[in-house]
Amino acid sequence: MNIAKGRDRQSTGKYTDGYDERKVGFVYDIRMKYHLDLEDLNDPHPEDPRRIYWIHELLGRADCLKLMRQVKVRPVTDAQILRVHTKKHLAFMNDTEIMEKTSLVESQQKLDSVFLCNETNYCARLSAGGLVALCNEVASGKLTSGIAIIRPPGHHACPNRPMGFCLLNNVAIAVRDLQARGVVERVMVVDWDVHHGNGIQEVFYSDKSVLYCSIHRHDSGEFFPSTAEGNIGMVGSGDGKGFNVNIPWVTGGMGDGDYVYAFNNVVLPIAREFRPDMVIVASGFDAAICDPIGECDVSPECYACMTSMLSSVANQRLVLSLEGGYNLDATSNSALACVKALLNLGWKSGFTPKPATYHAYATLSDWEINGVPMPHPKYSPDWLALPEWDPAIEVPDCFNSEPSELGKAVVDQV
């Protein structure tokens, strides 16, 4: 299958050719769904190809896409990849395009939580290329902000190897591309995926031009990626000392109050001191309520709140890049919340649809596994019903939530 010949445009948003008054952008390309786990096609992997489809579909139903501009996705080049990854890693990725199935399965079994197919390399290039394109539109001032609805994710990918569902480090490639073009100097990367972004940290650990701040479950090194790299004491080295900030939760169950407390006491103060030209969020939604892997309790309102707070940094130059998130309901609702905040539609203007039931992987019998067909007309779950906006409510409840004792203790040590 030559997926490079597929359609690039998959929504009502226009490409960025010529003038368009819409200032919040997005990238999405259905071809990214072709990155699949070949070991068991009947049992969806947690990094489910439908994740991007569900987000895009919900944004359309909520009438957000018509308020946004779609940025065309182009695969990243070898040169862009090599600013972050080694030649050996690039050669391995290229080789996957011609491997037989048995070789692909054998190769992935030697890696740490990665699956491969012949389309993997192209999908990974599309994923990173989509973020690169969106970031350049925002950095150049053509857009104010945006969201990259992309997969496979990237924040675990190290310079010399893929890991943790990640093949190419999307965020790191985008940052290096921006800097190479000379459109920004200082970039802040906020990683609110429930897992520590060890790959991003490794790339920028000695670089004072990139401030990396990660809020993640660490569980004394027992939570994936199960290393000491996510500790509080990992603050950077050489010129980058002090520019790497980890906020490691010691257990699951962390919620809105913990994240807002971390933002108010660590994230925003260091952001204002650093004064970045742009903020990129490694936006995993696996800390969301009822995510089966993250097991935390962050609400859609809280994701919107954090998005809004980051909009106050870097003259609103803000891009969210999808990382994890393994409950389709929770992930799509959380992404919708963030987009509503980017569009400045008000705290309660329909970005908090509450699922009647959250359930792991949220499979739908009427859809094929990769989510290409539209939902069956009879499928109309309660969680798609968007509530009316109460203009009297200006601040989400989560903003006033109290942190847990454990969460406060961690943040106060940073």
Residue-wise pLDDT for 275-330, tens only, equals: 999 999 999 999 999 899 999 999 988 999 999 999 989 988 999 999 999 998 89
Q: CB under 8 Å to 411, separation ≥6 — which residues? A: 247, 258, 261, 262, 265, 266, 403
Which pLDDT score, from 0 to 100, does residue 392 have? 30
Per-residue pLDDT at 366 exceeds 70: no
What's the pLDDT at 378? 27
**b/e per residue 349-379 (b: at least 16 CB within 10 A):** bbbbbebeebeebbebeebebbbeeebeeee
pLDDT reading at 362 higher than 50: no
The string of pLDDT tens digits covering residues 113-150 is: 999 999 999 999 999 999 999 999 999 999 999 999 99
pLDDT at 365: 31
d(CA 410, CA 14): 44
Residue 379: per-residue pLDDT? 25
- The predicted pLDDT at position 270 comes to 95
* pLDDT value for 349: 45
| pLDDT > 70 fraction of the chain, expressed in percent and rounded | 81
What are the two backbone dihedrals, phi and then psi, of residue 132, each rounded to the nearest 5 degrees? -60, -45
* Residue that wins the pLDDT comparison between 361 and 179: 179
pLDDT at 414: 86
- Over residues 28-39, the mean pLDDT reads 92
Please check the confidence at residue 395 and state whether its pLDDT lies above 60.
Answer: no
Give the pLDDT of residue 45.
86
Instruction: Give the pLDDT of residue 348.
Output: 52
Adjacency order of strands within the sheet including 244-249: 69-70, 24-27, 145-148, 318-322, 278-283, 187-191, 210-217, 244-249
Whether pLDDT at 221 is above 70: yes
How crowded is the C-beta side of 91, counted as CA atoms within 13 Å? Answer: 3
Rounded to an integer, what is the distance from CA 95 to the centroid of its chain? 26
Alpha carbon distance 56, 50 (integer Å): 10
Segment 33-41 shows an average pLDDT of: 85
Query: What integer best gives the mean pLDDT of the chain?
Result: 84
**pLDDT per residue over 256-289, tens digit each?**
999 999 999 999 999 999 999 999 999 999 999 9
Active-site residue flag, 156? yes
Q: Which of 35, 56, 85, 156 is catalytic?
A: 156
* Least confident piece of the model among 166-170, 246-250, 291-295, 409-413: 409-413
Give the model's pLDDT for residue 144. Answer: 96
**Residue-level pLDDT at 377:** 26
- Between residues 57 and 4, which one has the greater pLDDT? 57
Render pLDDT for 197-217 as a digit per residue (tens, 0 to 9).
999 999 999 999 999 999 999
